[in-house]
Amino acid sequence: VAGPSSAVHRLVVVGADAAGMSAAHQALRTARAAGADLHVVALERTAHTSYSACGIPYWVAGDVEDGDRLVARTAQQHRDAGVDLRLGVEAVALDLAARTVTGVDVATGARTTWEYDDVLLATGAAPVVPPWALDEDGRPVPGVRAVKDLDDGAAWVAMLDAAPRRGVVVGGGYIGLEMAEAFARKGLATTLVTRREVMGTLDPDMGARVREAVERAGVTVRVGEDVGSLEVGPDGRVACVSAVPTGGGPAGSGSGPAAGERFEGDVVALGLGARPRSELALAAGLAVGDLGGVLTDDRQRALGRDGAVLPGAWAAGDCCEHVERHGGLRVYVPLGTHANKMGRVAGENIGRSAAGAGTGGAAGAEDRAPARFGGVLGTAVTRFAANGVHVEIGRTGPTTQQALGSGRDVASLVTESTTASGYMPEAAPIAVKVLAEKGSRRLLGVQVVGGPGSAKRVDTAAAAIWLHASVDDVAGMDLSYAPPFSPVYDPVQIACRRLAERM
């Protein structure tokens, strides 16, 4: 058994990226501020820690010169700050009764067991890699790859350095769109193949606006297509993928294909989403939800299968399911913005728990975990910028379908405006879709698609929704105005005002 004696409070963190390392450092800060002695071991199965996966598509596109620029904190910086970081160690067993974690050194196979007072699972998510993308040995076919970590980033940079001519992106979500941008900017003839309308986290009418922009940049977009197989060339590398129509394409989109269409590609990027890595939690007896993520309460305390909080067990980040802030529904929104916040909440509570250890039993437990994660609205932004086209996308709150599905009576409207006063050279078109609940007039969701300066406007809406604002509230809010930044009324405000007038 490794680690310090039980006189010191011991935290074992499994997974040393956004959630895990936010938690580790916050726990140390909180414990130190309270004069407590906390020892933190962080186990990470790869060679990487604390990097921005979000920056990988921009590294592949050539905006970032090398992968080291994406590292927020090096292993040495973590160690200098007091985290006992073990890279290349995979946690293979969690014993909740004995309070131990067993890890295997991936290079040597050596096993080590750590005792803990608190354990935090921050094992993240794994990209979806369908069987058709794998060879007989279960490895991705050469030329086909997902985009998840720095190794993928380096592999993509090397693949594009080999100057392929044609690229296929499978999946039309934000990672697919960002890889399509990278391919197009690298001069590849690019095809984007997707099951549903591009950007399925938007309403289809807003997604269609994104598709039109991407097509304007010369990317061939095939909507309503399910890739199910691939062909390999004589060199053993991918040559093309084949798809069958799903019927999920928009009517009149111009993308209605022949059955079994083939898309030639020297490289194929997979942007098919991610699933939570919750195997360790499941095997240990923690609760895992219908969406596959570890279940926690809002203090990031892991739940047992009976739904009760399990003392000393915590989870944060992409390995967890999230709770929708207003509806209370369990959702899965694997984003770095949530992973960092959830990690910080867990760390604060673990630090308090370390400081309070020995001073009270169950009665003191709530006081020792005061930090709470406020839930998610699904706020997200991205862009596609290549070949003279620049389209930004922002969204927050439920889509129309999600709002109707949760039983709400919804009114919505799309407004077209500009990102700056119309006479300014920087003015670009922006479309804003706003959704509100009939009766209560509460703002539910906002989606924006437009030129430079569009995406982050969604944050105004997210702040308003977070605080339960109505469309009338937003219509009257004191938002900023000067010609280079906005028309007199901000586009989100115009959309809310128009909807308010109609309701």
Ligand X SMILES: Cc1cc2nc3c(=O)[nH]c(=O)nc-3n(C[C@H](O)[C@H](O)[C@H](O)COP(=O)(O)OP(=O)(O)OC[C@H]3O[C@@H](n4cnc5c(N)ncnc54)[C@H](O)[C@@H]3O)c2cc1C
CB of 172 to ligand X, least distance (A): 14
Going by the DSSP 8-state scheme, the letter that residue 132 receives in this structure is: G
The pair of structure tokens assigned to 431 is 């479309």
* Closer CB to ligand X, 46 or 229, in the complex: 46
Q: Which alpha helices (H) appear in 239-316, and where do they start and end? A: 279-284
Minimum distance of ligand X from residue 343's CB (angstroms): 7
| Residue of 144, 150, 145 lying closest to 46 (CA atoms) | 150
Q: Give yes or no for residue 84 binding ligand X (CB under 6 A).
A: no
Q: Residue 126 Cβ, how far from ligand X at the closest point, in Å?
A: 8
- 26, 30, 123, 447: which one binds ligand X (CB under 6 A): 123
* Min CB(164)–ligand X separation in Å: 19
Only segment of 1-9, 46-54, 161-169, 403-411 that touches ligand X (CB under 6 A) = 46-54
> Does the protein bind ligand X through residue 377 (CB under 6 A)?
no
CB of 449 to ligand X, least distance (A): 17
215 alpha-carbon distance from chain centroid:
25
Q: How far is CA 141 from the centre of its chain?
A: 25
Q: Strand pairing of 389-396 and 443-450?
A: antiparallel
Closest to ligand X by CB, 17 or 118:
17
Q: Which one of residues 11, 13, 18, 309 is an interface residue with ligand X (CB under 6 A)? A: 18
Q: Which stretch binds ligand X (CB under 6 A): 221-229, 256-264, 336-344, 399-407?
A: 336-344
Tokens 């798809």 belong to 243
Contact 14, 330 (CB under 8 A): no
Stretch near ligand X under the rule CB under 6 A, chosen from 42-50, 189-197, 304-312, 454-462: 42-50
Give me 297's structure tokens.
Answer: 């309460």
Q: State yes or no: residue 253 binds ligand X (CB under 6 A).
A: no
Q: Does 173 bind ligand X (CB under 6 A)?
A: no
Nearer to ligand X among residue 43 and residue 389 (C-beta): 43
Torsion of CA 426, 427, 433, 434, to 10 degrees: 90
The residue (of 150 and 475) whose beta carbon lies closer to ligand X is 150
Q: Are 382 and 177 in contact (CB under 8 A)?
A: yes
* Tokens linked to 118: 């608190």
Which range touches ligand X (CB under 6 A), out of 48-56, 132-140, 191-199, 420-428? 48-56
Contact residue for ligand X among 20, 200, 204, 453 (CB under 6 A): 20
Residue 345 tokens, joined = 């909440």
What does the alpha-carbon distance between residue 484 and residue 427 come to, in Å, rounded to a whole number? 8
**Amino acid identity, position 486:** S
Which of 4, 256, 336, 476 forms a contact with ligand X (CB under 6 A)? Answer: 336
**What is the DSSP track for 42-79?**
EEESSS--SB-GGGHHHHHHTSSS-GGGGBSS-HHHHH
Q: Is 46 in the site for ligand X (CB under 6 A)?
A: yes
Nearest approach, Cβ of residue 150 and ligand X (Å): 10
Q: Give the Cα separation of 287 and 369 in Å (integer).
A: 20
Could you give the C-alpha distances from 8 to 4, 31, 36, 233, 357, in angstroms and in order? 7, 11, 9, 59, 10
Distance between CA 415 and CA 446 in Å, rounded?
11
**Distance (Å, whole) CA 191 – CA 131:** 21
Binding marks (x or -) toward ligand X, 127..156, rule CB under 6 A?
A: --------------------xx--------
Does residue 280 belong to the site contacting ligand X (CB under 6 A)?
Answer: yes
* Minimum distance, C-beta of residue 178 to ligand X, in the bound complex (Å): 7
When asked if residue 335 is in the footprint of ligand X (CB under 6 A), the reply is: yes
Largest CA distance in the chain: 70
**Using the rule CB under 6 A, is 393 a contact of ligand X?**
no
Per CB under 6 A, the list member of 339, 471, 475, 492 interacting with ligand X is 339
Which among 75, 79, 72, 85 has a CA at the least distance from the CA of 12?
Answer: 85
Instruction: Report the Cα 302 to chain-centroid distance in Å.
Output: 21
Number of residues that bind ligand X (CB under 6 A): 32
492 sits near ligand X (criterion: CB under 6 A) = no
Q: Which stretch binds ligand X (CB under 6 A): 38-46, 367-375, 394-402, 430-438?
A: 38-46
Parallel, antiparallel or unpaired: strands 261-264 and 238-245: antiparallel
Among 4, 54, 285, 503, binds ligand X (CB under 6 A): 54
The verdict on 344 binding ligand X (CB under 6 A) reads: no
Minimum distance of ligand X from residue 446's CB (angstroms): 18
Q: Is residue 125 near ligand X by the rule CB under 6 A? A: yes
Provide the binding-site residues for ligand X, judged by CB under 6 A.
Answer: 14-15, 17-20, 43-46, 53-54, 56-57, 90-91, 122-125, 147-148, 175, 277, 280, 317-318, 334-337, 339
